[in-house]
Amino acid sequence: MATFQYIAKDGSGQERRGTVEAGDRASAIASVRAAGLFPSAIGEVKGQASAPAPAKSKAPAQAKGAKPAKKGGLGSKEINIKLPKWLRGKVKAKDLTAFTRQLATLVNAGLPLMRCIEVLKKQKMAPAMMDCLNGISEGIAGGATFSESLTAYPKIFDNLYINMVKAGEAGGVLEVVLNRLAEFAEKAQKIKNKVKGAMIYPSVVLFAAIGITGFLLVTVIPKFQQVFNDILGGQSLPAITEFVIKLSEAVQHNGLQILIGFAAFVVLYKVFSKTKVGSYQLDRLRINVPVIGTLVRRTAISQFSRTLGTLLSSGVPILQALVIVRDTTGNQVVRNAIQMVHDAVKEGESMTDPLAASGVFPPMVVSMVQVGEETGALSDMLTRVANTYDDEVDNAVAGMTAAIEPALIIFLAVIVGTIVIAMFLPMIKIISSVSSGGAGA
């Protein structure tokens, strides 16, 4: 018997850690799952002697104790989990989507799962994905189910993926679930690409404005300043010119301090965003800020509706589905709203009231969910909401692009125009002085 240490989540989504005695990894996974936990990482403890037989029964009790294990392992010994080296790598979303789509096609064709994996291993895939397929194949060969084998690779297969596969295995509709997963990933990637594409042009214009302004302040303005000093001999300059010259001097003489200040701001922002209060406040700002907030809110609603609808239609229990949706939501405000829904449903109440009370979901979404609950077609209603908000996201992206592009152009024009006017006003004075001198002669 070997000792395995695991990291898992319970039914409420809380992380749990512990150890279990088993003959191999597949048996260890099965023991953890039998304790009502969902393992996300599990590995054999190296250099740890096997515990006596009575200790074997302690693993499930520890798993059910709902207490996170302290870092450092058991007793005073430090326990290291040796995870596969590829686990530190990354698999692109498009590679995972392609794998899911191909696997669904093969399973739908009637091939056994192990045969499907072997066929996919012959395809040209990223090294990390090939290592993943080898590990999955070994897990299935060792007696684990497909979903249990996926839990060894939490950086590639999230809770949404694993639980949908588990539901598909239980219902005998694995190919249907895999197709839904592929469609879900494709639509999510499509929305992500649209948002990224919409931000390319504004980002280019913004960086161009910063670069042009910096060049003018550091290179051009000092030359004009020297000309003004030589010709005007210390005469007063227009207020706007004085302001631009002072700004130029500040950038020239305090460039390092400005860079350090900017770096400090970025670091403080990162630290603040990692705190519970900071994360909530920033997410609240993102969801309420004009123009961009509309896009963030609609994207969050679309993701919530599609994820929950997909899980429910695949046979995942609603409480477990809400936990998965909560954990896969990137916005803390939306996450808190989903937690309110989870707590209400756990008490036997409807989803409608907490959705409306959250202030995140508009009345149309609340009404659709209410109709879905009353008619028993909640998953279908959620899918319709997701489709509607996918279109709303497209409109929001188009509207944001239409609003930001001219705003940035005006911003750039104001900056450059201000500098040009500031330099041009003293030139008028110089030209007037020269003209007066020539007339007097």
pLDDT tens sequence across 395-421: 877 777 777 778 888 888 888 888 888
Model confidence pLDDT, tens digit, residues 234-285: 677 888 888 888 888 888 888 788 889 989 999 998 898 888 888 888 888 8
> Per residue in 277-301, is it b (16+ CB within 10 Å) or e — as a string?
ebbeebbeebbeeeebebbbbbbbb
What rounded mean pLDDT belongs to the chain? 78
Same domain, 355 and 261: yes
Same domain, 257 and 271: yes
Q: Using the 3D structure, point to which of 157, 178, 200 is the last residue of a domain.
A: 157
Based on the structure, what is the number of domains in the chain?
3
Q: Using the 3D structure, point to which of 25, 57, 83 is the last residue of a domain.
A: 83
Q: What is the pLDDT of residue 264?
A: 93
> Would you place residue 47 in the very low, low, confident or very high pLDDT band (cuts 50, 70, 90)?
low
Mean pLDDT of 423-435: 76
For residues 90 and 68, the model is more confident at 90
Tokens standing for residue 243: 């302001």
Same domain, 6 and 116: no
Same domain, 57 and 203: no
Q: Using the 3D structure, point to which of 83, 100, 119 is the last residue of a domain.
A: 83
Q: What is the pLDDT of residue 12?
A: 63
Identify whether 162 is part of a domain.
Answer: no
Same domain, 237 and 358: yes
Same domain, 363 and 413: yes
Examine the pLDDT at 63 and tell me if it is beyond 50: no
Identify whether 167 is part of a domain.
Answer: no
Query: What is the C-alpha separation between 428 and 66, in angstroms, rounded?
Result: 79
> Would you place residue 2 in the very low, low, confident or very high pLDDT band (cuts 50, 70, 90)?
confident
Q: What is the pLDDT of residue 276?
A: 85
Residues β-bridged to residue 19:
5
Mean pLDDT of 354-371: 88
Q: What is the pLDDT of residue 185?
A: 82
Range of the domain at 12: 2-83
Examine the pLDDT at 338 and tell me if it is beyond 80: yes
CA triple 175-177-181, angle to 5 deg: 115
Examine the pLDDT at 75 and tell me if it is beyond 90: no
Examine the pLDDT at 178 and tell me if it is beyond 70: yes
Q: What is the largest CA-CA distance in the chain?
A: 114
Tokens standing for residue 419: 């500098």
Same domain, 56 and 134: no
Identify whether 333 is part of a domain.
Answer: yes
Examine the pLDDT at 59 and tell me if it is beyond 60: no
Identify whether 70 is part of a domain.
Answer: yes
Q: What is the pLDDT of residue 86?
A: 41
Examine the pLDDT at 67 and tell me if it is beyond 50: no
Q: What is the pLDDT of residue 60?
A: 41
Same domain, 366 and 261: yes
Query: What is the C-alpha separation between 293 and 291, in angstroms, rounded?
Result: 6
For residues 398 and 147, the model is more confident at 147
Least Cα distance to 224 among 211, 237, 212, 214 occurs for 237
In the DSSP assignment, the letter for residue 111 is -
Which CATH number is 253's domain given? 1.20.81.30
Examine the pLDDT at 193 and tell me if it is beyond 60: yes
For residues 171 and 267, the model is more confident at 267
Q: What is the pLDDT of residue 72?
A: 39
Q: What is the pLDDT of residue 263?
A: 92
Identify whether 128 is part of a domain.
Answer: yes
Q: What is the pLDDT of residue 64?
A: 40
Identify whether 177 is part of a domain.
Answer: no
Least Cα distance to 163 among 337, 319, 22, 300 occurs for 319
- Percent of the chain exceeding pLDDT 70 equals 86
Contact 284, 276 (CB under 8 A): no
Same domain, 351 and 295: yes
For residues 359 and 198, the model is more confident at 359
Identify whether 323 is part of a domain.
Answer: yes
Mean pLDDT of 189-202: 78
pTM, two decimals, is 0.60
Same domain, 304 and 378: yes
Query: What is the C-alpha separation between 311 and 314, in angstroms, rounded?
Result: 5
Same domain, 371 and 439: yes
Phi, psi of 210 (to 5 degrees): -65, -45
Same domain, 241 and 319: yes
For residues 396 and 322, the model is more confident at 322
Identify whether 32 is part of a domain.
Answer: yes
Least Cα distance to 156 among 213, 240, 100, 207 occurs for 100
